[in-house]
Chains A and B, each alone.
Chain A
């Protein structure tokens, strides 16, 4: 352990890998000083664990109906979070639903920020007509409320998780493009960019190798903070019946089905609501912590 530590904080790393690992370690130390960020991280880790270990953590089959034991209140024998209108165990459905939530989160993260990063950096680096065209396109997407635009996409593409994700991704990239462009504009005139241009580097190399690494931290922070909104949009689409389809244990869908019993059997809608709330909070806390670690402006020279 102490050997690994020494390797990580070695002021004279012997390989690029060691240099990067050392930087990650320092980042982790900085993050670890922020208790709220650690709570956020803990929530995300718990979500990951729940998704990975769902079959073992769940006490019941999430699809198994038991009409005799329907709408059992929380803490009833065998169902500590109660059952829904078909007698399905809510805890088991929540645990399996974590997989769907993660699936949506993962799909959105690998699409929207990447598109936004490319459009933003290209727009910011080249400026002029390219910038105007790309930014007006961004403005058009930004002008629509996200849920409405997503609704329109799903209505055109048909309901389902993949289409919901596609719709969210298509509506989520403009803010990342804006963030990346703003960052690019501050970096574009920097001496280190002038230096590499002077070495004969082409635009592609500069944008990918030199501009993007400077924009990635801001985009990551933004994505983490947006994750709550993405989960809520996905849940919203599920709630409206345009995302995941029954009987999938998607959290938004679960809230929708619990709506009918909200006053008498409150737990059916509340439990998935709490799950969404906790996971969103986790991403927000982590995002705030990451901002302190990654933001180039807060880093000391």
Chain B
């Protein structure tokens, strides 16, 4: 049985009085310890699927199951300990008036874990795990670079030791060299902790590098499901996937 199962999911927003059908019947299944990718351009509904899993988007049809059980309408603390998310923009996902210490300590405080000195030890350890020195502990987000912020955001997502990490364009706001470091960090953490990834990106190359299987999305629908080997063989059927593939490789191959 798959760890995350999404069955004919529909999400409809109300925007300016008109309904916007952001996700139109998407199904997928992510196995335990698998890394699964969702790729598409802006407005394809890929991020909305992650938000729907977290209960932050209005699901109007279909089902989301974790470990075979349908999610409760309100995500509880138990959910928080199993599923965490890393957001796209590290400038917006850290509280601007909280120090790194407070940001990382908050999940522990919410769940009543590790008090006093033990909490401090866990925070320093979490910083070390994402490759940050303990000197960063009492800094504010504006004193950090984009890459450092995203490391803090990853550390925060891992504080509760979840099994599933939802990654919403985790590197698209970062420079290329910093993106490489962040992707390496994510791969390492996944290997070390046996995490399951569901990752969203507009960049097919990033998804290809990180994921075993992927779904190409366009305008709220799943266009095609592919695995890593198929992509490497250029074995795709949908013309949109080919277009996306061409645009991505063209960009990268230019210098060679």
A201 within 8 Å of B (CB atoms): yes
Cβ distance B142 to chain A, nearest Cβ, rounded Å:
6
Residues B136 and A12 in contact, CB atoms below 8 Å apart? yes
For A17, the closest partner residue in chain B by CB is B138
- Closest B residue to A216 by CB, please name it: B97
Question: Is A198's CB under 8 angstroms from B110's CB?
Answer: no
Mark out the residues of chain A between 216 and 269 whose CB falls within 8 Å of any chain B CB in the assembled complex: none
Contact of A214 among B81, B91, B97 (CB under 8 A): B97
At the interface, yes or no: B35 with Cβ under 8 Å from chain A? Answer: no
Evaluate whether A199 and B92 lie within 8 angstroms (CB atoms) in the complex, with A16-B138, A19-B140, A194-B87 already known: no
In the complex the two chains form, what is the Cα distance from A209 to B98 in whole Å? 10
The residues of A that contact B76 with a CB separation of less than 8 Å are 200
Smallest CB-CB separation from B100: which chain A residue? Answer: A19
Asked if B234 CB lies within 8 Å of chain A CBs, one says: no
Chain A residues near B107: list those with CB within 8 A: 199-200
Which residues in chain B, 67-94, are within 8 Å of chain A measured between CB atoms?
A: 75-77, 79-81, 83-85, 87-89, 91-94
Give complex CA distance A210, B98 in Å.
9
B89 closest partner in A (C-beta): A191
CB distance from B59 to the nearest CB of A (A): 16
- A198-B84, A200-B79 given as contacts; is B139 within 8 A of A16 (CB)? no
A64 within 8 A of B: no
A192 vs B140: C-alpha distance in the bound complex, in angstroms? 14
A190 CA to B98 CA in the complex, in Å?
Answer: 14
Contact yes or no, B80 A16, CB < 8 A: no
Contact call A13/B139, Cβ cutoff below 8 A:
yes
Q: Which A residues touch B94, using CB under 8 A? A: 192
Chain A 15-29 near chain B by CB (<8 Å), digits 1 or 0: 110110001000000
Which A1-19 residues have C-beta < 8 A from chain B? 11-16, 18-19
Residue of B nearest to A23 (CB): B140
Please determine whether B95 and A200 come into contact, CB atoms closer than 8 angstroms: no
Say if the beta carbon of B106 comes within 8 Å of chain A: yes
Q: A198 and B54: CB pair below 8 A? A: yes
For residue A195, which residues in chain B have a CB less than 8 angstroms away from its CB?
85, 87, 93, 153, 156
Contact across chains for A16 and B110 when beta carbons are under 8 A apart: no
Assess whether A16 is in contact with B102, with CB atoms less than 8 Å apart. Answer: yes
With A191-B89, A199-B160: A18-B97 Cβ-Cβ less than 8 Å: no
Known interface pairs A16-B101, A198-B85, A201-B106. Does A192 touch B92 (Cβ–Cβ under 8 Å)?
A: yes
- Report which residue of B83, B85, B110, B138 has the largest number of chain A beta carbons within 10 angstroms of its beta carbon: B138
B110–A191 CB distance below 8 A = no
Beyond A16-B101, A16-B102, A210-B95, is A199–B110 a contact (Cβ under 8 Å)?
yes
- Are B106 and A196 in contact, with the CB atoms below 8 A? yes
In the complex, A282 Cα to B176 Cα: how many Å? 50
With an 8 A cutoff between CB atoms, is A296 at the interface? yes
B117-171: which have CB < 8 Å to A? 135-136, 138-140, 142-143, 153, 156, 159-160
Specify the chain B residue showing the minimal Cβ separation from A209: B106
CA gap between A23 and B153 in the complex, in Å: 22
Q: How far apart sit A199 and B96, CA to CA, in the bound complex (Å)? A: 18
Asked if A12 and B135 sit within 8 Å, CB to CB, the answer is yes
Besides A191-B88, A196-B95, A200-B107, 4 other A-B contacts (C-beta < 8 A) = A16-B101, A19-B140, A194-B87, A199-B107
List 9 A–B pairs whose Cβ atoms lie within 8 Å, in order of A's numbering: A16-B101, A18-B138, A198-B85, A199-B159, A200-B107, A201-B110, A213-B97, A299-B142, A301-B142
